Amino acid sequence: MARELTQREILVELEPVAGQALDRHLSVFKDWHPHDYVPWDDGRNFAQLGGIDWDPDQSGLSEVAKAALITNLLTEDNLPSYHREIAENFSRDGAWGTWVGRWTAEENRHSVVLRDYLVVTRGVDPVALENDRMTHMTNGFAAPVDPGTAAAHAGFLYSVAYVSFQELATRISHRNTAEVCADPVADRIMQRLALDENLHMIFYRTLCGAALD
């Protein structure tokens, strides 16, 4: 029976594939900036600066759209936990380290533009949103535990398979959210985020396929 490869051996063997996938990603990625997508003219001060605090009547979003945007934002905002999980199971060197840093930087834009949009347009209660964010990020994210061994499903192979599906699911979630917002500004934001998630999915799917091979 063939010997099972160690984590380090898997990373070394697949690094050329990671390098090629990274080069492809950088060659097709179209740069964008969160501030270009936020309707700043809609903004105004809250009470602490002499304005008016949030009221439900100020929002033009449906309850479904609010729930979808909050869920998407909280998911994107938990980036520190995701970065930790990926960095621990990939590597900080070579193509792996470059990808982890690049992916984290790209994902960070998503929470920035979503929060700015919701606060500027007064789409949801900003105090409740911040409270939810504090709770969600404090709890964080950790790899699921195997009930049979009480050990985490750690390791590159589990991680790359998980994120391949997760990026696809997030892309679908963003696109579905765009449909229920009934707002051209929100639609443009969510479609832009979905494009990023699709490219991330392609990177991870490529590595997952190489790992299976």
Could you read off the pLDDT of 124-135 as tens digits, one per residue? 999 999 999 899
In a domain, 38, yes or no: no
How does residue 212 score in pLDDT terms, banded at 50, 70 and 90? confident
Residue 187's Cβ-count burial label (10 Å; 0-12, 13-18, 19+) is middle
Is the pLDDT score of 169 beyond 70? Answer: yes
Residue 50 belongs to a domain with what CATH number? 1.10.620.20
- Most confident of the ranges 70-84, 105-119, 129-143: 105-119
Q: State percent of the chain over pLDDT 90.
A: 65
Q: State percent of the chain over pLDDT 70.
A: 92
How does residue 141 score in pLDDT terms, banded at 50, 70 and 90? confident
pLDDT recorded at residue 193: 97
Question: Is 80 in contact with 89 (CB distance < 8 Å)?
Answer: no
Cα separations (Å) of 109 from 116, 144, 165, 175?
11, 26, 21, 17
- What are the tokens at 176? 């579905």
Report how far residue 25's alpha carbon sits from residue 119's, in angstroms, rounded to the nearest whole number. Answer: 32
**Span 8-31, pLDDT tens digits:** 788 888 999 999 999 999 999 999
Three-state SS at 167: helix
- Domain membership of residue 73 as a residue range: 13-30+43-212
Strand partners, 152: 145
In a domain, 159, yes or no: yes
In a domain, 161, yes or no: yes
Is the pLDDT score of 153 beyond 50? Answer: yes
Is the pLDDT score of 204 beyond 90? Answer: yes
In a domain, 141, yes or no: yes
What value does the mean pLDDT take over residues 38-58? 95
The total domain count for the chain is: 1
Q: Name the H helices within the chain.
A: 7-28, 63-77, 79-89, 94-120, 126-139, 156-181, 184-212
- When computed from its CA atoms, the radius of gyration of the chain, rounded to whole angstroms, is 19
How does residue 151 score in pLDDT terms, banded at 50, 70 and 90? very low
